[in-house]
């Protein structure tokens, strides 16, 4: 991997990650951009104990532009974009409309490929490994910023998720606090460690799932399963078998195997709503006439916070790096909405039994 940092016209940082060591990246951003102005503010809820980012400047962010005006495509044919060069492998740059900025953290955009019509599932294993290396490098760099407590790498895909740009990309949020979801997991880890005499809860969960019926995919270094209490209709958790707190601690064997495993999971997600078998069965004639759009999903890396966890009894090394992959689609043409119980009380109601979801994700394995 070759890393080439540069600056955009308004001062934001941009980094090229290339597969070839001899690639030269010297294109300048020729847009007449004014310095970015952000108004990000973190406000703490005194009753719930969590934090909300208030970012009014995001109201003016780019919203569903036509493909020929995509800001994530490379600059070419006289059209200037966020990426000054005419091609790229992987690019990371500071978000022009960040939810977090300055003392409130940082937000970055990760472009997985210059091909506007591609998807992460369509990448080669070499390309997917480069994205993993970029995630790891950015985690290392962002963890050194004084304001940053936790780094979150994720991808939103699909208009149903709320994506405003169709180009294959993800984001990285660098939070100035330990997120509520992570703190909740750490509290459970601390309580289990005390009650069990020192057992790690993540290890116990992984061992239980590997011995059960919800395993979707297992290799030498990775395990993917539908969790016992899955919140979403189709939800898979991907764990390295050797517990590590973050992407930085993955060994080379796990890194080498990751692209194969992750690409297979994404491709299965794209096949789970094909009109064949189970509740989605229709006649062959109708099946040929109707094509299901790509599965919308969220892919979220959970990493340990940097420094003290802030949770008594839970050390950073107790946390287990893992990825959660889930879709808001519950069946063909129907979405899972977060209605009264979920949004009002944070009590999820899942219409698809996790065991059935695991069966379906095994059924659609690549031949």
Report, as residue numbers or ranges, the catalytic residues: 169
DSSP string, 175-215: ESS--HHHHHHHHHHHHHHHHHTS--HHHHHHHHHHTSS-E
* CA separation for the pair 133, 153 (Å, rounded): 12
Q: What does each C-alpha distance from 242 to 135, 136, 203, 223, 230 come to in angstroms?
A: 19, 17, 9, 10, 23
Q: For the chain, give the number of residues.
A: 367
CA distances from 249 to 2, 150, 242, 269, 289 (A): 20, 15, 10, 27, 48
CA 222 to each of CA 202, 237, 262: distance values in angstroms, whole numbers, following the listed order: 14, 10, 10
Among 264, 282, 302, which Cα is nearest to 186's? 302
Find tokens 């009753």 and name the residue.
47
Exposure string of 197-216, with b = 16+ CB inside 10 Å and e = fewer, is eeebbbeebbeebeeeebbb
Q: How many CA atoms lie within 13 A of 237 on its CB side?
A: 20
Q: How far apart are CA 321 and CA 319, in angstroms?
A: 7
Residue 29, classed as helix, strand or coil, is coil
What are 329's two structure tokens?
């689609």
Contact 306, 143 (CB under 8 A): yes
């Amino acid at each position: 991997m070759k890393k080439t940092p540069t600056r955009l016209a308004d001062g934001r940082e941009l980094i090229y990650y290339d597969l070839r060591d001899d690639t030269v990246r010297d294109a300048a951003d020729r847009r007449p951009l004014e310095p970015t102005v952000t108004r990000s503010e973190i406000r703490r809820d005194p009753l719930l104990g969590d934090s909300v980012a208030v970012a009014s400047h995001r109201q003016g962010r780019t919203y569903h532009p036509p493909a020929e005006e995509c800001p994530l495509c490379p600059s070419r044919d006289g059209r200037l974009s966020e990426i000054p060069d005419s091609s790229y492998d992987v690019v990371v740059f500071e978000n022009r409309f960040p939810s977090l900025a300055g003392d409130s953290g940082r937000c970055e955009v990760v472009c997985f490929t210059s091909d506007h019509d591609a998807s992460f599932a369509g990448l080669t294993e070499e390309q997917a490994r480069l994205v993993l290396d970029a995630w790891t490098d950015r985690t290392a760099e962002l963890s050194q910023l004084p304001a940053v407590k936790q780094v979150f790498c994720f991808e939103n895909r699909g208009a149903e998720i709320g994506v405003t740009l169709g180009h294959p990309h993800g984001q990285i949020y660098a939070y100035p606090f330990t997120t509520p979801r992570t703190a909740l997991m750490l509290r459970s880890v601390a309580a289990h460690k005390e009650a069990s005499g020192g057992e790690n809860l993540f290890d116990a969960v992984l061992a239980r799932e590997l011995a059960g019926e919800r395993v979707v995919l297992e290799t030498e270094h990775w395990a993917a399963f539908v969790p016992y209490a899955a919140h979403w209709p189709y939800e898979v958790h991907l764990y390295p078998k050797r517990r590590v707190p973050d992407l930085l601690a993955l060994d080379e064997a796990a890194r080498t195997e990751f692209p194969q495993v992750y690409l297979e999971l994404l491709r299965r997600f794209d096949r789970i709503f094909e009109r064949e078998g189970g509740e989605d069965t229709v006649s062959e004639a109708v099946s040929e006439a109707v094509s299901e759009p790509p599965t919308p999903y969220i892919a979220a890396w959970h990493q340990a916070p940097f420094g003290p966890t802030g949770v008594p009894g839970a050390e950073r090394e107790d946390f287990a790096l893992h990825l959660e992959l889930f879709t808001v689609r519950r069946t063909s043409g129907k979405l899972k909405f977060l209605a009264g119980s979920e949004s009002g009380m944070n009590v999820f109601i899942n219409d698809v039994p996790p065991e059935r979801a695991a069966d379906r994700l095994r059924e659609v394995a690549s031949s």
